[in-house]
Amino acid sequence: MTAFSLDPAHTAWCAELRTLAAEQLRPAAEKGEPGHVNRPLIAELGRLGLLARLFTSGALDLCLMRESLARECTEAETALALQGLGAHPVHTYGTRAQRAHWLPRVSDGSAVAAFALSEPGAGSDAAALALRADVDGADDSGGWRLTGEKCWISNAPEADFYTVFARTTPGAGARGVTAFLVPADRPGLTGTPLDMLSPHPIGTLAFDAVRVTAEDVLGETDRGFRVAMHTLNLFRPSVGAFAVGMAQAALDMTLAHTAERDAFGGKLRDLQTVAHQVAEMALRTEAARLMVYAAAAAYDEGAPDVPRRAAMAKLLATETAQYVVDAAVQLHGARALRRGHLLEHLYREVRAPRIYEGASEVQRAVIAKELYASVAAS
């Protein structure tokens, strides 16, 4: 297998995932309430063994899972991805006790994870975090008290635990941030759901002197930014895979619709302007897919240019998906705007990935920084 082709085993697995998504996961997704955690859906992902694969697979397998699920059921894709995003720091940086307590429950779908990085004044600028971790001097046991807010947190406030990034050293920028594993039942931790355009659960978290200790640290004190970036470098290409899956679903619908729809004495596909539009949609989707696979393969191989590749993959794929879904809506006409139509759903779903896990503008900044750094190094 190369970065630009899949072997037969991968192709067969993707087909199996699409079947599972359509036949077993979509019914569970349809019973959920938009904007809230769908625990039966997460439990079904666990029963099928897909959540456990989050911790045994490489970046390419993660991309294949997300793309395949997204083509048939975006809710299932998002539920799986959020479990991985919230729990990956525990898997990679957690203590033996943290891993033993939480990872089996994440894998079987009985515990919901969340990644709590963004704040009202620090979204894409993660180094500007203001959530305070003040040294707790109440007794001799050590530890900190978390005070502040998190915002735009997926699965909040309904998750069972949060990977929380807080400032342990004021004025130190990215070097003064620590990652903590914070169970949702900690005294002083509350949250509020947000009513968002995209249908998955997002909310705010408020920390009122929430107590954490050295046993809650993920990795090392003041080295939490590394935890965040390691996680995002893995998941950014897979955000691209999610986008590619949505683009492919929109393209598939458009191919079927334009081949069947009567217009101007023939089929829509007979109009050159339509045929060229569909060709452009397919071209961009395939280009994005190849870049996602290449970035994932680079991550799995431990390549030195992963940050640049991951940023490129997310940027191209999410911008492409926006273009393809919008074009699909245009070619379908008013029917695609009707509530409940798949393209209406994708149109709402496709907008958010251009913002979360680093907005498109941030990805361009990362790419430029990496390019100039490589020039300086040579």
Active site residues: 357
Distance CA 261, CA 102 (A): 51
As a whole number of angstroms, the distance between CA 108 and CA 293 comes to 28
Six token digits for residue 117:
């990085």
Q: Find, among 294, 302, 299, 304, the residue nearest to 378 by Cα.
A: 304
94 contacts: CB under 8 Å, gap ≥ 6 = 102, 103, 181, 218
3-state secondary structure of 95: coil
CA distance linking residue 204 with residue 148, whole number of Å: 11
In whole angstroms, give the CA distance from residue 200 to residue 349. Answer: 9
What is d(CA 103, CA 54) in angstroms, rounded to the nearest whole number?
A: 10
Q: Which H or E run includes 278?
A: helix 272-301
Cβ neighbour number for residue 195 with a 10 Å cutoff:
8
Per-residue tokens: 237: 């290409």
Q: How far apart are CA 81 and CA 33, in angstroms?
A: 18
Does the N-terminal peptide bond of residue 353 adopt cis geometry, omega within 30 degrees of 0? no
β-bridge mates for residue 218, sequence order = 179
| DSSP reduced 3-state for 161 | strand
The DSSP code sequence of 47-76 is HTTTTGGGGTS-HHHHHHHHHHHHHH-HHH
